[in-house]
Amino acid sequence: MSLISHIGPTMCTNKCKSLYGCNGVNFDRHQLTCELLRIYPTTEDISEKAGSMFAAISSLQPIKAAACRPNPCSENNKCIVSRHNKPFCISTVGGELIFVKTIRSTNYPAAYPNSDSRSWSLDADNNTRLVLKFKAFKMEAGSDVLRIYDRLGGIQLYSLTGFLNPDNIWSKANGFYITFRSDGSVTYSGFSIDVYKTS
């Protein structure tokens, strides 16, 4: 859900900085996995990197010390003990994901037409966020483009093209506005994106 694979520590930290409520990460340099977290209380016990709280897995230990007994954390949060024997409460950013809908390019999985133009407006309810999970992505690189905007301010967040499946994309606030444009030559199967909301 909020575990990202095949990612380095800098990208892991940057993803956390871009998500509301994320102030820490568990990064495994051997598996190249990144878990986005809420950590509280935040202290100097976790190093700060470019304004984002960054916690390496090596500095966060399983529950072994008395610092987590009794558990100071609220329900559904996990207590961990730092290397300085201080308790931290963590929860995965985003909560449970609930499927909303699937958006696809025209004719998917067959090729989309030349000079195609489509748009989608995706709204999130109050106190929820949306996440886009890319199931398939294959477009003419540089010429056919999927653009994703912040629904709130109309600011372009991503411009996607080519063959590589993008990572999951989380909304910053109340949703997304998405556009797709193809040029007059060369088409592929396009994209299929599952849309989820947080509970």
Instruction: Please tell me whether residues 86 and 113 are part of one structural domain.
Output: no
Distance CA 191, CA 77 (A): 36
Q: Which domain holds residue 168?
A: 97-198
Instruction: Please tell me whether residues 192 and 103 are part of one structural domain.
Output: yes
Instruction: Please tell me whether residues 133 and 74 are part of one structural domain.
Output: no
pLDDT at 62: 40
pLDDT at 61: 39
DSSP string, 125-159: PTT--EEEEEEEEE--TTTSEEEEEETTT--EEEE
Instruction: Please tell me whether residues 88 and 101 are part of one structural domain.
Output: no
pLDDT at 129: 79
Instruction: Please tell me whether residues 88 and 111 are part of one structural domain.
Output: no
Instruction: Please tell me whether residues 49 and 72 are part of one structural domain.
Output: yes
Q: Is 199 exposed, middle or buried (0-12, 13-18, 19+ CB in 10 A)?
A: exposed
pLDDT at 52: 38
Q: Is 130 exposed, middle or buried (0-12, 13-18, 19+ CB in 10 A)?
A: buried
Q: Contact, 102 vs 160, CB < 8 A?
A: no
pLDDT at 34: 77
pLDDT at 58: 37
Q: How many domains does the chain have?
A: 2
Instruction: Please tell me whether residues 24 and 116 are part of one structural domain.
Output: no
Distance CA 111, CA 139 (A): 9
Instruction: Please tell me whether residues 155 and 69 are part of one structural domain.
Output: no
Q: Model pTM?
A: 0.55
Q: What is the CATH number of the domain that holds 178?
A: 2.60.120.290
Any idea of the CA torsion for 146, 9, 93, 177, to the nearest 10 degrees?
-10
Instruction: Please tell me whether residues 102 and 188 are part of one structural domain.
Output: yes
What are the average pLDDT values for consecutive 10-residue runs of the chain, which has 199 residues? Answer: 68 71 69 70 43 40 54 62 61 66 96 96 82 91 92 80 84 84 94 86
